[in-house]
A and B are shown apart, each in its own frame.
Chain A
Amino acid sequence: MKTAISAHQVAKRFGSVEALAGVDLTVLQGEFFGLLGPNGAGKTTLISALAGLVRVDSGRIEVMGCDVVSDYRNARRQLGVVPQELVFDPFFSVRETLKIQSGYFGIRDNDDWIDEILANLDLTSKANDNMRTLSGGMKRRVLVAQALVHRPPVIVLDEPTAGVDVELRKTLWQFIRRLNSDGHTIVLTTHYLEEAENLCSRIAMLQAGRVVALDTTANLLNRFASHALHLRLGAGAALPPVLAARATEQDGIWSLSFDRFSDIEPVLAQLRAAGCSLEDLEIGKPDLEEVFIRVMQGQQGDMML
């Protein structure tokens, strides 16, 4: 697999704040890559450095093999960025905005592709409306469209679904997934961990300008998150003391957690052996939120040392 983005020892300071403290990261072509981290972790700084909006103090970044500083023209042609802020130019209509953006990349007569993007983002009926008159969700779609006018092989979305309604989120992800399956590399930052879990094949977690976890989503889930078993006991039944000692009870539901799925079966055997009758049983799957919290807590622990 070829590299889409490579960041090597990227560092950036804003005054006394160390926004990026030596980030190493490689995103492969065709990946759906997630960049997670709390506010101020350096996600947006990293994306801005990638896009040439921020000049790094040291280290280097390449997009599709093009250095973002020395070969910025080619690097920027390979990259489509959907910014976090809901920005727009109030002087122009949706179509004008997209035609102008195409022109900035040296592309004329881009109407067929613009029409296709508009259709895919449900914007066709708004094409000739002024940007000012659009709702927030519509403006967000135009931002996505603007990032795609030059058909970039690498697309970066900086929290694209912040404050966006469910329907748009669905349309948007459908479209982005399709772009990904067509071969586009997607990098996503989001606060909705569920989204990252569903979409991203690999995830990097950033904290205080450092990469603190980097692995496939499946591995992260297996490594850090626990499986849980939730039990409601039959009338008069009691949990065997061995299990009760490591379980917690809330509203009549006992919960046990396990690091591995395979640890659940022996517990069920113990319950059968003790003749413990069950009214209800539920197996909770690990989720990224738990991974996230564990990684972040682990880091804070390390940092206190």
Chain B
Amino acid sequence: MNGFTTLFYKEVLRFWKVATQTVAAPVLTALLYLLIFSHVLESHVRVYGTVSYTAFLVPGLVMMSVLQNAFANTSSSLIQSKVTGNIIFVLLPPISYREFYAAYVLASIVRGLVVGAGVLAATMWFAPLSLNNPLWVLAFAFLGGAILGSLGVVAGIWADKFDQLAAFQNFLIMPLTFLSGVFYSVHSLPPFWQKVSHFNPIFYMIDGFRYGFFGVSDVSPWKSLAIVGSCFVLLFLLTLTMLKRGYKLRA
């Protein structure tokens, strides 16, 4: 056990101890989305010509849950530790800023994947689902979790109060995830909104993730991978720089 593995273990243990709130609740929320939207739209919408709306919706909801929960894990852990002051327990030991980053973000990916698996297990019974290429599924889930987990580190460190973090979540994360094509194929949008959607990095995460299931997508999975990968590198560098400088952590 070194500082990194302990911090990673502690971050996983932290959400696991309140799993009803951190795992079961988001699974239930996703299930409710599925029930309501598929009830309303199943008979009206078909996607990619062959895929039923409910089947289309399932991977979208899984990926949305991965992303939202990865963000929630790092951001809520950090803001709580900052507000209560127990952040010093991880600042006093000989833990480097790289280990700090890796531990928090990996734990957030674990939370995202656990919730995502839960959502998949709960929703896959409602529609015939194929698994065309699991590697794409894993790659996008992992990268998407890492991006949102990093963003959660940035938000959790930047925010001084809970309402600032809530603003970050409500005005940035929520619109970006909801308008990313979770609930619809962007091809069904008017051309202008299709263009706008292509500036949303989360669109590529969802689209690439879905490709792993159906083997069809709005854009090529390679393009999605390139864009999502670049986003990760950017956020990785930004977050590491913040941590290295001790921004808002070490005065």
Contact = CB atoms under 8 A, between A and B. Distances in A.
Nearest to B96: A73
Interface in B233-251: 246, 250-251
A83 B86 CA distance: 10
Interface of A: 14, 48, 51-55, 72-74, 76-77, 79, 81, 83, 85, 87-92, 96, 100-101, 103-108, 146, 150
Contact of B3 (A48, A87, A88, A106): A106
B121 to A, nearest CB: 26
Contacts of B3: 103-106
Given A55-B246, A87-B85, A76 B94 contact: yes
Given A88-B86, A91-B17, A105 B93 contact: yes
B2 interface: yes
B189 interface: no
A83 B250 CA distance: 15
Nearest to B14: A91
B234 to A, nearest CB: 26
B172 interface: no
A85 B90 CA distance: 15
Interface string B78-89: 000100111011
A2 B250 CA distance: 29
B8 to A, nearest CB: 10
B94 A91 contact: no
B86 A104 contact: no
Interface in B1-47: 1-3, 5-7, 9-10, 13-14, 17-18
9 closest A-B pairs by beta carbon, nearest first, are: A103-B6, A104-B93, A73-B94, A87-B85, A108-B1, A76-B94, A103-B1, A87-B86, A54-B251
Contacts of B7: 104
A85 B85 contact: yes
Contacts of B81: 89
Contact of A48 (B2, B14, B251): B251
B91 interface: yes
B76 to A, nearest CB: 12
Contact of A100 (B10, B18, B85): B10
Contact of A55 (B5, B90, B92, B251): B251
B89 A89 contact: yes
B164 to A, nearest CB: 21
Given A52-B92, A89-B81, A150-B93, 20 more contacts: A48-B251, A52-B91, A53-B251, A73-B94, A73-B96, A76-B93, A77-B94, A79-B92, A87-B84, A89-B84, A92-B13, A100-B6, A100-B9, A103-B2, A103-B9, A104-B3, A104-B89, A106-B2, A106-B3, A106-B94
B131 interface: no
A83 to B, nearest CB: 6
A157 to B, nearest CB: 14
Contacts of A105: 3, 93-94
B59 to A, nearest CB: 32
Contacts of B6: 100, 103-104
B95 interface: yes
Contacts of B88: 53, 81, 83, 87
A22 B89 CA distance: 28
Contacts of A54: 250-251
A194 B92 CA distance: 29
Interface in B90-134: 90-96
B13 A52 contact: no
Contacts of B86: 87-89
Contacts of B92: 51-53, 76, 79, 81
Contacts of B90: 104
22 contacts: A52-B91, A52-B92, A53-B88, A53-B91, A53-B251, A73-B96, A74-B94, A83-B85, A87-B85, A87-B88, A87-B89, A89-B89, A100-B6, A100-B9, A100-B10, A103-B1, A103-B3, A103-B6, A103-B10, A104-B95, A105-B94, A106-B94
Contacts of A108: 1
A107 B94 CA distance: 12
Contacts of A150: 93
A214 to B, nearest CB: 25
Contacts of A48: 251
